[in-house]
Structure 1
Amino acid sequence: MNQHVGASFTLSVLVVVFFAVILYEPDHARPVSPPGSTSEPVEATQAPPPTPGVPLIESAATAEPPASSITTRPLEAVALIEPERIAPPKLTTPPSRPRPRVAPPAQPPAASDPPAVIQVVSRRQSPPPGRHSAFTQVGEGESLTDVALRVYGTSEASTALWRANRDIIAHRETPLNPGLLLRTP
């Protein structure tokens, strides 16, 4: 494991140096002009030789214009331009005109009738409590669902009818013989 540490470290340093060189952008880089475009040379004026130790400052007149297509104005010219004065918008309605009165919202009439009561009716009706088990006889061609529909008024009660008669009916789909007596809980 330790034999590859040196190579990994060297590779890491090379990657960092590579990206530092590639991604480094100097602050005062000159823009590169696109190929095929030539800039006109600027005439140099006679200036006294620079004094040692004093930085050289170029005047705005002798500076080379940037190669970009955006035109720039010198700072002094921008400062001399007066900003446009915009007149305030004119009001379309005179402010002295009174506002129209708004009528108060109409009160709903007092309800003398009580609200309607919603009754929830269950689709599944169970037999009334306290009723003793009774028996019913299966008719010709009736299925368990038909018997439940006849006795309880709904075919959904066929499950309760089947559970009450498991000892007689093996499966819910078992055909019923005519005349068979079933318990009706």
Structure 2
Amino acid sequence: MNRHVGASFTLSVLVVVFFAVILYEPDHTRSRVPASEPEPVEASPTPPPPTPGVPLIESTANLLPEPSPTLAASPSSSRPIEAVVSLAPVPPPKPPAPSPRARVPAPDPRAVVQVVSRRQPPSPPPPPGRHSAFTQVAEGESLSDVALRVYGTSEATTSLWRANRDIIARRETPLAPGLVLRTP
């Protein structure tokens, strides 16, 4: 048994504690405690509903912020502000008028083809689709010819060779006609 197991264990615990202290990030949303909790306010009885057609006068003196030195010097800030509010029936909102749908003519496919053909050279035909996971080598075909026939590009020669390394020794090895190759 290891005779330094106690020292190794202690060192491991100290390393874990060190990184726990260094990487600790407290959750500020939970630890935030308000300095003073607001006292509950009792709700006053609801005021009677206003009479239609009678103007309301409401004093806003209690809604003003504390006066600053510049505001205290002005004569208008020393008196309360009163506002006249009248209740008028609110008409229901009008639904939006239905807009007539504009007919959009169908695009002319010839115009689209003409624009595309002017800007881009014609793309090569898509490679012939694979029908199975195997292909048979024709007479005189090399590995790059098979890749071109199956995938549409000779750049897939490497992947075709890797899939058939047990049959083909090297990439340049001539292929026998009728040989069946795996196509990945």
Higher helix proportion (structure 1 or 2): 2
Bigger radius of gyration, 1 or 2?
Answer: 1
Determine if the TM-score, normalized by the shorter chain, exceeds 0.5: no
